[in-house]
Each structure stands twice: as C-alpha cells, then as structure tokens.
Structure 1
Amino acid sequence: MNYEDVLSERVQSIQPSGIRRFFDLASEVEGVISLGVGEPDFSTPWHICDAAIYSIESGKTHYTANQGLFELRKEICSYYQRRFHIEYDPNENVIVTVGGSEGIDIALRALIDPGDEVIVMNPSYVAYTPGITLSGGVSVPIELRQENDFKLLPQDLEKAISEKTKVLLINFPCNPTGGVMSYEDYAKLVPIIKKHQLIVISDEIYAELTYDGTFASLAQFDEIKDQVIVISGFSKAFAMTGWRLGYVLANPALTAAMNKIHQYIIMSAPTAAQYGAIEGLKNGWPHVEEMVRSYRARRNFIVSGFNRIGLNCYMPHGAFYVFPDIRSTGLSSEAFCELLVKEEKVACVPGTAFGDAGEGFIRVSYAYSIEHIREALNRMEHFLNKFK
C-alpha cells in the first residue's frame, strides 16, 4: 500500500519539529550539554505533589466536570483578578485543559474554517503554524525583529490584515526570543484589533516569568476583552510540565464552542493534576518567586557570557530563553548547531525551527544551573575561536 495515498494532505504538509531533530542528534553524542529543553529544571514543589497524591489516596480518581473542578476554576479566576485585575467567572469563562497545547488546539478549531487567515509571529513557538494548518487555516507571518525588542508593531499588524483574516495568535513573553509586550505596546494594537474584529489567541504560559516591569495582557483592555482568548497553564510557573494541565479564559460564547471539542476529545483534564494545581494556586507562590529569582540570575549570566564571547545577545524580559545572533560566524543556524554539537558537545536549537525569521539566530534555554551554563559557554567560546 502507498500510504501517501491515504494519509491526510494536511498532515503530510507538516514538517517534523526542528527541536526534536536536534534532541535526537544530541542524544547520540556522549557527554553532551543540552541547552535546548524548554522546561524548568526544578522539580514540582512537594506540597503540590502531596496534594495530588492525597487526592488519589482519597479515591478522587474519577472524571471531573468537563470544564474542570469548580474549585480549580474558581482559584484561576481569583488569581487573574488578584494579579492582573481581570474579572472572569468560573462557570462561564474557564476550561481546564490538557496543557496549554490543548487550549491552543481547541481555540483554533473552534474558530477556523478552511481558508481563514491566522496572523502568527515569526519567529514563534513551533506548534502554532502546524496547528493552524491542521485546523484548515492559512498562516500569515509577521517578522519580529531584534532591533524592535522582538515586539509586535501596530504598522506591521495593520499591513498583515486582509479580508480573510480572522485570528491573531500571539505569545508574550515569547518562546523563542524572550520578547515582552508592555501595556503601552498593547494599547497601540487595541484600535486595530477592535476595528477589524479580530479574535486574539494570547498564549501567556510564561506570564509569571516576567523579569523587568509588570506582565500585561490584551485581556486587560475592556473594549476588546471579549475578543481575547487567554491560554495559560501550570507547566512553567509551577514546574509541572509532565502533569499536562492548562486552561483557557474567554467570552462565554467562545468557551462554549471550545468546550464542545474538549468534551468529545478529552472529557476532562487529569483529576490528580487538578488537585495539585489547586494547591499550587493557593500556596505555591513562594516557590514561583524563588524560581523567578533564579531564572533572572541565570538570564543575566548567560547574556553577559554570550556578549563576552562575541555573540550579540538581546536581553530577554521574560520566559527562559535567549536568542543570540550567530551571523558573525558566516554559518546558517542549522550548520552552526550541527557543528557545535559534533565538535563541542553543546546542543542548542537553530532559530529556523521557529520560522524563517529565525535564520541567523539560535535558541538557548537557561533553565539550567549556572555551572551547567558556564561549561557550555566555555565550550562555545572554544568553538567560536575557529571563526576569528
């Protein structure tokens, strides 16, 4: 059988993850230092684990409501009101999902008909464009530039909009650049979003990992709040990547549509994970603050290190990635990363894994110890000496 004849054309059109290819390459190299993984190196705080274990021991092993445990939805809404001054109703505005990834998927599928255009940042997280393709949509990229601090500019947004545009998909703090939008930056976009009646999918999974200034969300603007779908979760802030727990916050008409998909493909998010998340939201903030302090110190160390060894490196204001410029070597992003892992046993991700605009850059995670980062920088300095 020729399986290309039976496989979906949409699936066949999607390229394998560029991140995964370099993970696989690094796994074949003994003694490699990997700076590629996009997850915290911290373990989930024990009190969160203990709450989940206790829920299992108490027999709370059944399905929850489709939208998630009411107590968890209530805590999520309380957090958004307390920290971001955004009002949400736990009955109407929240769905607890299997990670932020499910939230993005059901948001796209609830909104997109074949041919609808989705504006997406370039570079951006590797799953966005494939998700748009699988939903039948068409990706329209906007290049984010280092000279603009990797921000979305209003003139670029206006230029990208056509009569087919339905959705704007954003991610700030950004993976891979670490770029952040301030409240003032967003205020310049609000009239455009309102005029064109765009739905915004705002992936805010790194909201708690904002280092300079205060995190801002488009949902804070009352005039477009009902046009914004917030995607977030517990993976990054609470070091709960393996628990697979996220949530969406949106207008009731949008959550109702997304919940139709969620209830058929998922039923409900993992029950024990939900009990752990409740504990995290209630009592986990000292641990979050401790992690943020550590990430800030690592960020400062790695940015200083890259600039010292000759790679121009933007100071990110959120997430836990840097996006150094490697164009001075004359190598493409892929060639740089391939040679680096083979010759110096350091694994990074080529910028092109996140879109064409990532050419000339590499993504490096600083979710590692200072000692780990220091050794990687020493090896990279040795590698760069070959190009001087």
Structure 2
Amino acid sequence: MSGLQAIRYTRGKLEVLDQLRLPHEHHYDTISTSEEAFDCIKTMRVRGAPAIAIVAALAHGVELYHGGCKAPIPTEAISYIDSRLDYLKQSRPTAVDLTNAITHLKAVVRAVDIAALGDAAAPSAIVDAYIAAAEEIFRKDTETNLRIGEHGSRWLLANAPVKSPEGKVSVLTHCNTGSLATSGHGTALGIIRSLHSAGNLHHAFCTETRPYNQGSRLTAFELVYERIPATLITDSMAGALFATKKVGSHIAAVIVGADRVVRNGDTANKVGTYALAVLARYHGIKFIVAAPTTSIDLQTTTGADIKIEERKPEELTQISGAVVGADGKVDISRTVRVATAHQEIAVWNPAFDVTPADLIDAVVTEQGVVVKGESGSFDFRGVMPERWAAVVGQ
C-alpha cells in the first residue's frame, strides 16, 4: 500500500495535496467550505475522478460539521445540502464519480427517519447521516482500488499477447490514476502497482499527457516514489514504442483510467486516450480500462452523449515550473511561467476524449473484469446488478 496521500482527513478537517506543486514540493491546502473545494477541483489542485468525488463529499461534510447548515426544520436542511451538492457538481462535469456520489448522498439524507425524530432533532440527524456517508465513500475507495489491482493484474497475465522470457509484462499508462487520483493505490496505476508487487511487471511506460502534464508531473513521480521500473515518453512517441520489438519494450497492454464509462462501454478519459486505443488495436496490444463501478454511467447509452469539458487556452500556450539552475538542480523557491506558443493563436483544448467500446478489450472493476460481448459492446449487469435493474431493467 502506497504511503502517498492526496487526501488527509479526520472528522471536521480536510487537507488536500496541491498537485500543481508536484513533483518538487509537497503542500496541503486546508479545505473547509464548498467554495474552497470547488476552486480546488476546478483549478486541478486535486484531480482524478475518485479523488474529485471524495474531496467534494468530504468538504461539504466539514462545512456541515462546523455548523454550515442553519436550517431549523428537516425539509430546509435537505434543501440546503442539495443546493451545496448541486453547486459542487459543476466543478468537473465530465467525471461521473462526482455525480454518482452526489446522487448517493442525496438519497442518504432523505432516508433519515424524520417522523421518528421530530422536526427539532431531524436536522442534526440529517447532518450526521451525511457526514457518515461521505466518510464511507472515502473508506471504500481504497478497498475498491486494491480489488481492481488484483482483478486487472490477474486478467492481463492470463491474456497478455506478449511477455518477457521470465513471464513478465510491460505496459503503458496515460494520465495519472494512482494514489494521487484516488484515496490510495489507484485504478490503472493500481494494476501496475499490483503487477510490480507480485513480481510480474517487467517495465512500465508513462506518457507525459499533454497539455497539463499529469503523466510527467504526477505519474512519473509516483513510479519513482514506489521504485517501479519505468520510463517517461512524450504522447507522440507511443506509436514508435508499440512498433518496437525489443524484448521488454514490447508492450502487452495499455492500461488507463476513466472519468466516465457509459452503458455500452464507450469511455471518456484524458484527451489522448482515443489515439492510444487506435494504436493499440493496430499493434495487437490489449487496451484495458480500470474503473470502479462508481465511474460507470448506466443512464447514458453511448459516448456521443458525454459532455466534454473544454479548458482555458493558457494550459496549451503556457507552462509553469520550478527553475533549473546552471548546476542542473531544481530550485523550488523559484517558479516561472513561460509562453510555449504565440499568445494570439486560436486554441481548442478539450480535457477528455471518448474511446469507442469496440477498441476496448476489458473494463476492470472492483467486482471483476467485464469483456465485450459478440455485439461489440459491454454488459455491466453482472458487476452492478442492482443499479442495472433500477436503470435498465432486464
């Protein structure tokens, strides 16, 4: 289990690691209100679908713990919680974990037995129920990630198209899906971590993940921190890497996370994922999506209906970082922002793209691995039967 923590929480206090300062500096922001959580998520000081949901849920819990809800009657308490959650939902709309967490938390506060408590006692009971439910979301995420790591590593070892002479696999991952994107261990990076801990990983490659560099700033940091054998490449080097037949460099699988997996298996993930899936199919490489069931959106039938967030042009035309001195050492006390393009050029900067289900070989969840049916789409009823029955029916 990794010692890295993106989120530190005790009841009434939430601290979130500012990932914009990584890999050179560890700094935790104290988050006490929904507004502070919104800003933390929107500015990507915290990112990763599970972590976004956890921070939003816990931040409002901290707010409630310190008396944020002044409602004298239960209906007003529920209305207040609803309004704060609806506000937080707009911070990163593509990540379905946040939507699913909000839906769950709204159901929890409505399940409080108001009639038995009476109007005077009900508001505090509603607050207590909310806080307990938010804390349970945090706790369960780590358990979920460990199970994803176990299921995914076992499936890949059984289905890898190529292995090293020692029976190990090399993989590539995109963006950041490790401890920094979750409560711990990670999803796609969790599978890599599980492979490594069991002695079954030959080498991991990570993309820099332009334009925000989550791969070079965060994934590379985690891999070095965990002493996992790894190499950083630019996004545009993936095709050349896949074509390499050198033993150990020949990739068995691309393993990515997901911000949203819809009913047929189409998957929204960090922009660049779709291109990797196309390259993987051409080169006979397995393409694996690692996603908790909370990232599966049964309400949306295909990827065509996923709302793709677009981000500000400066993320593409500018970059900031710590200064490297003439001696090659990084000076974390000096940060500069530099232009990487003409500042008047038009920019299109989608944060995500959608990979069609046909290009995905397996979706790994905490409940097991789902593979495509003969129709070319995925059937998730086996890993989430209650939600499937409630939304889809048969």
Q: State the TM-score, normalized to the length of structure 1.
A: 0.33
Q: State the TM-score, normalized to the length of structure 2.
A: 0.33
- Greater relative contact order structure (CA < 8 Å, 6+ sep): 1
Greater strand share, 1 or 2? 2
